[in-house]
A and B are shown apart, each in its own frame.
Chain A
Amino acid sequence: MCRIGALKSRHYMHPSKALLLMQSQQKGHDNSGFAMVMQDLGGIFEDYKHLPTLSLACTDEGLKIAEDLLHAKGFRRVHQWVPETNPQPGLDIEAMPNYVFETFDYPKEYQDASDKEKGELLTDTRLELRAAMEEDEKGFAYSFWPDVITLKEIGDPRAIGTYFNLWEPNEDFTAKVITAQCRQNTNYAIVRYAAHPFFLQGYTALANGENTFYQKNKEFQSSLHRGYIGFESDSQCFLYSLHYVHKELGWPLPYYKHVVTPLPFEDLVKREDKAQLLAMRQSLAHLEINGPNTIIGVLPDNTMFTCCDAKKLRPVVVGRDEDTVAISSEVCGINEVLPDRNWEVDIYPNEREIVVIDDNLEVKRWKQ
């Protein structure tokens, strides 16, 4: 079973922290991969927060395809970072030839465009990139969005950490929000896209568990938005539901839980807002999830939250100290990164709540 974890801090953190958080839960996963999304970037990306960064793993051919495509669309590269890799004999990793993190300036005609227009352009561009490199696995375009970096790789998380020099903290490669997963591939082919966290237009989601409603989620989502594609993992659906409810419908975050794990009818009819809740349950019956799972999500404003299935069949813990909040499948992960915290205030969210950490690091618990 996968293990997931997330960190949100007042200060910039290096991904080594995320590796530590995950590594102590090692017995819970089978070492088939590691993935992370970093948001609210520091270090060498700090000056480029307003510009989109492309996260790419590709072959030489793929790289050329991607660069030609971006060039043709009028994107101008302003910054590039190629992580220094550390290939050693015996590392368990199926590395791609190139890992590229490039920041671009928008095409000229978009300089005065609204955020929405820019966002649509970035989404379309990433989808085109993905399609163009898809054949023969020439490349994987994980994210193309301002202030976001995604890294996914197949192999043992420890080896992946070593390969990308992620064990050694430094000031260059940091972020205030890091979500990560150590993976167990149980039900799908081992493909890079299948690794959590998933990212779309400022929204990140990762999950620990299973989505038994995958088929109906997927059938419904496929026609809701052009960005809802892939479905390499059953939990990818959680991201699309989040994006749909929060961005497309514009409903406040508390309603996400009402959509994915609606209250039973007998509880629902006792509520003051039963008309709305019932209407939601009806209209979005196909976005329901039936577990067992725990979801961690990040919104475009870097708000982080966690919630779980309606029967709480998967564990999750939230711990914090002054500067950092950590969410993790198992408490041993948090013990590793926040050893001096007051563990008595750790939160074990229950099945009918969302635990939310806002940008001031205030932790709130919302009853569904």
Chain B
Amino acid sequence: METIKINDLACNDLPWKISYDPNRCTLCGSCIAACTFDAIGPKMERRRMIFTDSETPEPKTRFSAQPIIAQRNVIKNFCRGCGVCERVCPNSAISASRNPDSRFNVVYPAATGSGPKRGGRNNLEVKERTLDTLRVGRISQMTDPSLDAQRHTFDCLAPLGRVLPSKALPFQQSAEGKLIQDSQTPPVHWIYPVIIGDMSIGALSWRMWEAIAMAVAYLNEECGLPVRMCSGEGGMPVRLLKSKYLKYMILQIASGHFGWNRIIQAMPDMVEDPAGVLIKIGQGAKPGDGGLLMAAKVAEHIQAIRGVPRTDLLSPPNHQGLYSIEESVQKMFLSFNAAFKFRVPVAIKVAASATSVSVFNNLVRDPYNIVGGFFLDGIDGGTGAAHDISLDHSGHPSVSKLRDCYLAAVAQGRQGQIPLWAAGGLGKNGNLAADAFKMMCLGANGVFTGKLILQLAGCLGNDLGRCNACNTGLCPAGITTQEPVLAKRLDPERVAENIVNYFLGMDMELRKLMAPIGNSALPIGRSDCLISTDKAVADRLQVQYVC
């Protein structure tokens, strides 16, 4: 008998196990060809067959070697459970199933001396979300009638830009009793309250990025929804920078400063201003960690856009070299505001954290009137790579932090002056309209979302640890890869269509929630509309408790 090498890796150590039925398999090879992780391969198995070749039974034994499909037990090629094999198998002969007895968290570091990394999904938090304990509970009745979602007009727009306090408005009164404005006010753009973002070209395949850009252009130009897309920190294709579509894009500049050179160089040729600039100070979706764009994904066009060689690219979690809030405000806001001659709102993105309210409180004083928005990003989002440990064990949900920021503004009578935008797992359960609506009631002016867009494109991952291989460059859906063969799996037009349809549906659903509370404008700060069935949540968020 062969000696057992107990420390050798076995398939039952891995998070997913392949179930395979050789009786159904015709050995067409589709599954092997489709598996981007090389997690399955052909294998020969020795089989014993009993047969008889005479008229009366005279059993004989024959051994033969038979080809089969088997899971590979190589740590680099572990099965991610994406289920592509099952999708392509014409005979339902193969599938991946979760292995509840996985020893992966032990064997992986023990074998590699490093922690596992993956695309941005928190795999531990699969319980009910805070937002799911909230309901829209104020339903207008006889005295305050609800509106008709189909008939009434609704104003579904949110501000991006620095809003001046009323006493600071530069108004003079004319002889006829009209107010006239005698100087410039900071730029404020009214946009759709759901921003797509901020996923870089680099994190996403170019086809995916293009699909989103296409959807955004369509939503704006054909559907009349002024949806904006945030570039993420990757920079932008120069052709886009010089095109009229730039007006739908929010340029992100983050700690890696990727692509900023090209943006500056393209400025003289820009025919439109960008929709805004978003300075990422803190990373929320990959909490406290930087985004990691692995070398595998740094394809040639990414190298060109970012001006870097093929190597792992790390965006540090914060701006190294900025050591105080005041400094960041002065240095970054002034320079970026000035770059676009104060025509483009410049907002800031921070991580939801124990300290985000302090940052907000500092910014809300904003003596230069240049902070065009406060974006708060929490756990549960993301496409980029990070270490498992960061994704699973650090970070802060954004709901309570958003509420804290809003209430901090209320306490100072400054609500709305720096628009609040929040994200982090919104739309995780598939309904972004409900999540967005509740966030607005809690004080957000708008929300931004990324992962849901991946789901719309056909992402095979989920929050229970399926797939989440966005970091590997091997995305089986062609969404987060730069491999031409894989990216081809994605049909950008179908993706764009899905996104457009989803936004149209969501827009209708937003109205369906605004109507019963009798609101024809977005319900910012209408916490009176929310109820919670969870006492702790109700107390923490200062909404009504019901049972």
A binds B: yes
Task: Give the interface of A toward B (CB within 8 A).
Answer: 1, 186-187, 209-210, 212-216, 219-220, 222-224, 244, 248-252, 254-255, 264-265, 273, 275-276, 278-280, 282-286, 288, 290-292, 310-311, 313
Chain B nearest CB from A249 CB (Å) reads 6
B411: A residues at CB distance < 8 A: 223
Q: Mark B138-155, 1 if CB is under 8 A from A, else 0.
A: 001001110100001101
Q: Is the CB of A216 within 8 A of B179?
A: no
Q: Is the CB of B163 within 8 A of A282?
A: yes
CA distance A275 to B178 in the complex (A): 13
Residue B413 lies at the interface, judged by CB distance under 8 Å to chain A: yes
A186: B residues at CB distance < 8 A: 143
From B152, B164, B410, residue with most partner A Cβ within 10 Å: B410
Task: Give the interface of B toward A (CB within 8 A).
Answer: 140, 143-145, 147, 152-153, 155, 157, 159, 163-167, 169, 171, 173, 177-181, 185, 188, 190, 410-413, 415-417, 517-521, 524-528
Q: Is the CB of B525 within 8 A of A291?
A: no
Assess A284 versus B166: contact at CB under 8 Å? Given A275-B181, A290-B518, A292-B518.
yes
Which one of B152, B166, B178 lies within 8 Å of A283 (CB-CB)? B166
A248: B residues at CB distance < 8 A: 167
Q: Is the CB of B173 within 8 A of A252?
A: yes
CA distance A220 to B167 in the complex (A): 14
Q: Is the CB of A252 within 8 A of B521?
A: no
B143: A residues at CB distance < 8 A: 1, 186-187, 209-210, 292
Q: Is the CB of A265 within 8 A of B157?
A: yes
Chain B nearest CB from A367 CB (Å) reads 14
CA distance A209 to B157 in the complex (A): 26
Chain A nearest CB from B187 CB (Å) reads 11
Q: Is the CB of A264 within 8 A of B153?
A: yes
B524: A residues at CB distance < 8 A: 216, 285
CA distance A123 to B386 in the complex (A): 60
A282: B residues at CB distance < 8 A: 159, 163-164, 188, 416
Chain A nearest CB from B343 CB (Å) reads 14
Q: Is the CB of A220 within 8 A of B415?
A: yes
CA distance A276 to B173 in the complex (A): 11
Known: A209-B143, A279-B169, A288-B521. 14 other contacts (CB 8 A): A212-B519, A220-B410, A224-B413, A252-B177, A254-B177, A275-B185, A276-B171, A279-B185, A280-B166, A283-B169, A286-B525, A290-B519, A291-B518, A292-B518
Q: Is the CB of B159 within 8 A of A311?
A: no
Chain A to chain B: the 9 pairs with minimum beta-carbon distance, closest first: A223-B413, A210-B144, A215-B528, A216-B525, A283-B166, A252-B177, A282-B163, A212-B518, A219-B410
Chain A nearest CB from B190 CB (Å) reads 6
Assess A223 versus B412: contact at CB under 8 Å? Given A279-B181, A282-B188, A284-B166.
yes
Assess A280 versus B169: contact at CB under 8 Å? Given A219-B415, A224-B413, A288-B521.
yes
B517: A residues at CB distance < 8 A: 212
CA distance A288 to B412 in the complex (A): 19
CA distance A273 to B410 in the complex (A): 29
CA distance A255 to B177 in the complex (A): 10
Assess A220 versus B144: contact at CB under 8 Å? Given A249-B167, A276-B179, A311-B520.
no
Assess A276 versus B180: contact at CB under 8 Å? Given A186-B143, A251-B171, A292-B145.
yes
CA distance A215 to B440 in the complex (A): 14
B521: A residues at CB distance < 8 A: 288, 290
Q: Is the CB of B167 within 8 A of A311?
A: no
CA distance A291 to B416 in the complex (A): 21
Which one of A214, A279, A284, A313 lies within 8 Å of B528 (CB-CB)? A214
Which one of A210, A220, A252 lies within 8 Å of B413 (CB-CB)? A220
B169: A residues at CB distance < 8 A: 279-280, 283
CA distance A212 to B139 in the complex (A): 11
CA distance A282 to B456 in the complex (A): 33
CA distance A285 to B180 in the complex (A): 20
CA distance A286 to B416 in the complex (A): 8
Name 7 A/B residue pairs within 8 A (Cβ), A-sorted.
A187-B143, A216-B415, A254-B177, A273-B178, A275-B185, A282-B416, A290-B520
B179: A residues at CB distance < 8 A: 251-252, 255, 273, 276
Chain A nearest CB from B422 CB (Å) reads 17
CA distance A275 to B415 in the complex (A): 21
Q: Is the CB of B152 within 8 A of A311?
A: yes
Q: Is the CB of A276 within 8 A of B519?
A: no
Chain B nearest CB from A278 CB (Å) reads 8
B157: A residues at CB distance < 8 A: 265
B188: A residues at CB distance < 8 A: 278, 282
CA distance A249 to B169 in the complex (A): 10
CA distance A34 to B330 in the complex (A): 57
